[in-house]
Amino acid sequence: MKRKDFFRGLAVGTVALPITIRAISGDLSAQQNNSTGAISGKVYNWKMVTTWPPNFPILGEGCNLFADMVRRMSGGRLDIKVFGGGELVPPLECFDAVRSGAADMAHGCAYYWAGKVPAAQFFASVPFGMNAQQMNAWILSGGGWELWRELYEKYNLVPFPAGNTGVQMGGWFNRAIDTLDDLQGLKMRMPGLGGKVLERAGATPVLLAGSEIYTGLERGVIDATEWIGPYHDYKMGFHQIAKYYYAPGWHEPGTMLEFFINKDKYEELTPDLQEIVRVASLWINNWMLNEGEKRNAEYLSIIQNEADVEIRTFSKEILDTLRGYTKEIVAEITTDDPFAKRVYDSFQAYRRQATAWSELTEKVFYENIQVM
């Protein structure tokens, strides 16, 4: 497009904007008038189960905030009671509980269901994959959410983005991890694709719910664990029972969290209540990431100054090897599962664009930034 044509179009658009707004307003008014009968006084009482301990900081708190927002925005017509992991169903049984209708909705992370739905884990995090900003862009604007809904529809579920951990830490270890040999025989709590990568490197991945990790590490059931970041890790007390704290979280560079709702229950809602659920989930999606970023920055300083812990980074040799194993495992999954291939192809197509953009902007910025 020629420069003068662009500005001519911009001028026309500017002049037409008030007219467009009035037209849209008129359409909305007509829709509201036509849909008045769809808004009823019926009250829906839902149960939300979660994979987190009751009232768990940020993640569990976000679920409580979501329920409160929905209750207030709906005028009490949609009342959601939140149950922490184990209060109604075991944490790792949330998927089946909602699918069957034993609970109405859940909050968790899609890689927990990888054993049942291999493609699901790509909507959580891929080792050496995209950060939170990029994951949000792919899910919300790059076609990810459409694929996610298509996948979960097979299981009578409707998914919604509901938080992101940001780049995680690499984990807590009771021995130094200097070389690849140090991973041999290591029993480490790690879910999802990261666990499969560790296994290929000679370690033994163990899937434990959050409420079981501290005891497992303290008693030697596991030798190491990843969790989230400095804030949650400190609250869990890992600095009291493990000496080494490693970065970066190669396995989860930007982990998307999820709400998922029983499809039949969701479709029973009036259109305005469905929209309230969507808007509240997107608000929580943003809040969890921002709150986590703030708290992690604060608690990294606390760990550095108060805890008898060595903070280290993984060697380039270790990271390069784990990256190679990641490529192998993803290739195997996508070869065996056609839908997983569709999802990962979409993931990779957006990632290539995002990487080119971030290398020109954020990477250069971080490499040259100085604290003022």
- Is 60 exceeded by the pLDDT of residue 10? no
**Cβ pair 193, 251 in contact under 8 A:** yes
Nearest to 257 by CA among 56, 79, 9: 56
Nearest to 130 by CA among 331, 366, 351: 351
Confidence (pTM): 0.86
For 301-351, write each residue's pLDDT tens digit: 999 998 789 999 999 999 999 999 999 999 999 999 999 999 999 999 999
Range 316-351 burial, b when 16+ CB lie within 10 A, else e:
eebeebbeebbeebbeebbeeeebbbbbbebbbebb
Mean local confidence (pLDDT), 45-68: 96
pLDDT tens digit sequence for 243-253: 999 999 999 99
The per-type count for the chain, helices as H runs and strands as E runs, is: 13, 11
Q: Which of 209, 172, 208, 168 is nearest to 292 (CA)?
A: 168
Q: Tokens representing 76?
A: 């009490």
What's the longest Cα–Cα distance across the chain?
71
Residue 207 burial by Cβ neighbours in a 10 Å radius (0-12, 13-18, 19+): middle
Q: From CA 343, how far away is CA 334, in angstroms rounded? A: 9
Domain ranges of the chain: 42-163+255-292, 171-254+308-368
Confidence of residue 7 (pLDDT cuts 50, 70, 90): very low
Q: Which of 258, 284, 280 is nearest to 269 (CA)?
A: 280
Two tokens, residue 10: 């911009």
Identify the band that residue 12 occupies on the pLDDT scale cut at 50, 70 and 90.
very low
- Superfamily of 42-163+255-292 according to CATH: Bacterial extracellular solute-binding protein, family 7 (3.40.190.170)
- 171-254+308-368 belongs to which CATH class? alpha beta
Place of tokens 């829906």: 44
Contact 161, 145 (CB under 8 A): yes
Please give the Cα distance from 134 to 152 (Å, whole number).
22
Q: What is the pLDDT of residue 211?
A: 80
- For residue 175, which of 244, 233, 221, 237 has the smallest C-alpha distance? 244
Question: CB neighbours (10 Å) of residue 138?
Answer: 26
In the block, which residue shows the tokens 């899910």? Answer: 139
Contacts by 188-191 with C-beta closer than 8 Å and gap 24+? 188/222, 188/223, 188/224, 188/225, 188/226, 189/213, 189/216, 189/217, 189/222, 189/224, 189/225, 189/226, 190/225, 190/226, 190/251, 191/109, 191/111, 191/112, 191/114
Inform me whether the pLDDT recorded for 29 exceeds 50: no
Residue with tokens 């993640």: 59
Instruction: Calculate what percentage of the chain has a pLDDT beyond 70.
Output: 88
Q: Do domains 42-163+255-292 and 171-254+308-368 have the same CATH topology?
A: yes
The side-by-side arrangement of strands in the sheet containing 157-164 is 78-83, 44-50, 105-108, 256-262, 157-164
Structure tokens at 150: 């298509």
Please indicate whether residue 81 or residue 18 has the higher confidence score (pLDDT).
81
Q: How many CA atoms lie within 13 A of 83 on its CB side?
A: 20
pLDDT of res. 324: 97
- The residue behind tokens 């005028």 is 75
